[in-house]
Each structure stands twice: as C-alpha cells, then as structure tokens.
Amino acid sequence: MYNDIVKDHFSRPRNTGELARPDAAGTAVNASDGDRVQLHFRIQDGTIQDVRMKVMGCVAAIASSSLLTEMVKGKSVGEALSVTREALAEKLGGLPEHKIRCSLTCVDALHSALGDWKG
C-alpha cells in the first residue's frame, strides 16, 4: 500500500519534538480525519536553522510531515512557503488516493507558522 519513502519516514520520522522558544510555530488540523500537525521553527536571518514536528495522525500524515521538515531545513522562509502540496506529494513518491489529503495537513501547518512571520 505504501512505498519505501513513506514507510521510511513513518518508521523513522525525522525532526520530531518541540523547540524551546521557537521563532515561529503553527498547528493545523484535518477536520475530516482529525490528523493534527504542529511545527516549530528556529529562524536566523530569514533562514530556517531548525524545525521540529509533532504529529498525531496516520502513516501519511507522519511521513509527509517528516519529509517536509527535511525539505525546508536550511531554506529561506520564502522558499519554505513556496513548497507546494504537489511538490511534497511528488517527493513522497505517491500515496493511495484516499490518503493524499492526510499528507496536506503539514503544508497547512507550515503556512500557519510562517505565513505571518516577520523576521
């Protein structure tokens, strides 16, 4: 059902936990299934130095959030905000159709955290 990329990020999620006194934080909840993603960012000079995630959700929500943290670490806030749902889904290598919306919650959390960030 899931490909090796998804399985890897689910069984060994990256960048888990919280940051003490993050520079930006955001949470998103998928109303249809209850998945919840929280992201914490450490930002210096407009560049994401560190990012942590806490996820309560399914395999797709955990794997996509883990991969997203890897995609945005070291990027500028603007570059991170340009990560699209489609780009994330492509990097994941695909998901079952009924799980795609689960993978999008982390992108909403990203925009929640960084959308109004003023460095």
Q: How many CB atoms lie within 10 A of CB 18?
A: 12
| For residue 103, pLDDT beyond 80 | no
CA distance 100 to 105: 10
Please report the pLDDT score of residue 102 as a whole number.
Answer: 64
Q: Is pLDDT larger for residue 101 or for residue 70?
A: 70
Please report the pLDDT score of residue 8 as a whole number.
Answer: 97
The C-alpha angle with vertex 118 and arms to 87 and 102, in degrees rounded to 5, equals 30
Residue range 73-102, pLDDT digits in tens? 999 999 999 998 889 988 999 877 776 666
Residue range 5-43, pLDDT digits in tens? 999 999 999 999 999 999 999 999 998 888 999 999 999
CATH 1.20.5.50 corresponds to the domain 4-114 = no
Which residues are CB-neighbours of 90 under 8 A, at least 6 positions away? none
